[in-house]
Copies of this chain bind each other. A is one copy, B any other.
Amino acid sequence: MTDVSGLSIGILGGTGDQGKGLAVRFAQAGHRVLIGSRSPERARQAAAEIGHGAAGAGNAEVAAEADIVIVAVPYDGHKALLESLREPLAGKIVVDCVNPLGFDKQGAYALPVEEGSAAQQAAAVLPDSRVVAAFHHVSAVLLMDPAVEKVDLDVLVLGDDREATDLVQALAAQIPGVRGVYGGRLRNAFQVEALTANLISINRRYKAHAGLRVTDV
């Protein structure tokens, strides 16, 4: 498996639940974690809560400084933020975990994305970055719960750059209990993002924090 030790991890939108949950687990695994936010002050507050040497800064600074950058911002604003960070993100592995979802009285549903998926949108606006899609289904609640020693799910990792997907699979495996499983090319990212709506339906029906495991792998 690719050696990811020593890599610093930046998390854009690291003050949201999903970003913060991932930040906690990567910081605990010994990575230098840089929390990014529109507000450097809020980023520093979140980093202080996370501890383990995590630091906070504005999104642009984090994009420039981190070895790998995870995008965990709300879908609304996703495209504009990445467009503004094209230069600092050039040459880097950018891991998109954004789920374009809408919500109404009947629950969650998938939003259409002009580029095909949030990950393909990222790839379109970041032509010089190596975009990988991953971490869509990880429950923020479980990530942030210190009582959960092992997170019982597989992270599907999608992308067109084998070296990059291998690395992100290894990164996923830094979270105790998690496997990173290759899940296909970026053109098949929409359904992985959208499936989060189904997991939300499952969570409601079964009062669960559902995840997925891939069998026979």
Number of interface residues of A (CB under 8 A): 38
Question: Which residue of chain B has the shortest Cβ distance to A201 in the bound complex?
Answer: B184
| This protein's copies in its complex | 2
Residue A1 CB within 8 A of the other chain: no
With A and B bound together, what is the CA distance between A198 and B136 in angstroms? 14
Q: Are B209 and A216 in contact (CB under 8 A)?
A: yes
Residues on the B chain within 8 Å of A209, using CB: 216
- Known contacts A110-B190, A191-B190, A192-B195; A215/B153 CB under 8 A: yes
Q: Are B187 and A202 in contact (CB under 8 A)?
A: no
Question: Which residue of chain B has the shortest Cβ distance to A187 in the bound complex?
Answer: B109
Q: Are B184 and A188 in contact (CB under 8 A)?
A: no
Q: Are A185 and B152 in contact (CB under 8 A)?
A: no
Q: Are A183 and B201 in contact (CB under 8 A)?
A: yes
Q: Are B216 and A211 in contact (CB under 8 A)?
A: yes
Task: Give the distance to chain B from A97, nearest Cβ to Cβ, in Å.
Answer: 16
With A and B bound together, what is the CA distance between A212 and B215 in angstroms? 6
Q: Are A181 and B152 in contact (CB under 8 A)?
A: no
Residues on the B chain within 8 Å of A210, using CB: 214-217
Q: Are A217 and B202 in contact (CB under 8 A)?
A: yes
With A and B bound together, what is the CA distance between A64 and B197 in angstroms? 35
Q: Give the interface of A toward B (CB within 8 A).
A: 106-110, 152-153, 156, 158, 181-185, 187-188, 190-192, 194-195, 197-198, 200-202, 205-206, 208-217
Contacts A/B (CB < 8 Å), 17 sampled? A109-B187, A109-B188, A110-B191, A152-B215, A156-B198, A158-B198, A182-B202, A188-B201, A191-B195, A194-B194, A202-B217, A209-B216, A210-B217, A211-B214, A211-B215, A212-B213, A212-B214
